[in-house]
Structure 1
């Protein structure tokens, strides 16, 4: 498997591991308020979904102005805080990423994006996909820290566990 695609596949795998783990815990754990980077596990996951959404739209060539407007409406489309529904949204967006990755002929191809705050960036599809995966890894660490704060063990989502699972 192409290493670029593999790192993104890892991202989707790790998100799935987190959801499976959280669904094994008492349901109120996901919504319990904590003093952390985010006010709850659910809010952390929702932030991750929003960012995955932003970068998928960016990779599809949409402008940040349109994307940000739509991101602000995501909260309305997922009005109730429902872990199963958010899990479904993660699966859907993961499938959209997989479809996009298959359609891109050259992941190293340079693209330019215009960010309203940071300006113009010329980068590759690959680098943006790596950014999305890295962002997810960072916040899965937040999830583990919040779980420990609440008295629960976090799931094992290190890249090496993904590699071991791929060997099965």
Structure 2
């Protein structure tokens, strides 16, 4: 399996693990907290939005078009239930997997221009790794919010995923 696809599969597994846990404690989803994000729901929407933006970016969509689509994305997803948010993630994941599978070379370099940050020359693999790292970081925010609310988190470390793969 391509390493980028394996990393992305880990990202999907970790998100699914979080969603399964949250469905067992639905009262935590929209509960307001004083933290980096105001709720678990806000963290999940942020993760979804960033995953969406990066897929559009690596697909070659112009920056202006991506930015213009964000208000509609928020309108469509900001009030999602846990199940609706999970479905949005699953649908986006199918697009990511199709993108990754369609690439002949995940290490091919390409350029992205951002009006504020300039031009980035990167590979598809590097940006998939960024998406995965970003997800890992914010799943930690979810765990912190859950602990603040008096609940436990769930194990979503990459090594946990590797142990599961090794048992298959």
Gaps of at least 5 residues in structure 1 are: none
Q: Determine whether 1:11 maps to 2:11.
A: yes
> Shift of the alpha carbon at 1:28?
2.3
List structure 1 runs of 4+ shifted beyond 6 angstroms.
Answer: none
> Shift of the alpha carbon at 1:79?
5.1
Partner of 2:47: 48
TM-score by length of 1: 0.96
Cα distance between partner residues in 2 of 1:2 and 1:137: 20
Partner of 1:118: 117
DSSP 3-state at the match of 2:29: helix
Q: What RMSD, in angstroms, separates the aligned Cα atoms of the two structures?
A: 1.0
TM-score by length of 2: 0.96
Partner of 2:149: 150
Partner of 2:130: 131
Alignment of 1:20-99 (within 5 A): 20-25=20-25, 27-78=26-77, 80-99=79-98
Cα distance between partner residues in 2 of 1:30 and 1:132: 23
Gaps of at least 5 residues in structure 2 are: none
**1:22–1:30 CA contact under 8 A, matched in 2:** yes
> Shift of the alpha carbon at 1:117?
1.2
Cα distance between partner residues in 2 of 1:81 and 1:128: 27
Cα distance between partner residues in 1 of 2:3 and 2:78: 37
> Shift of the alpha carbon at 1:49?
0.1
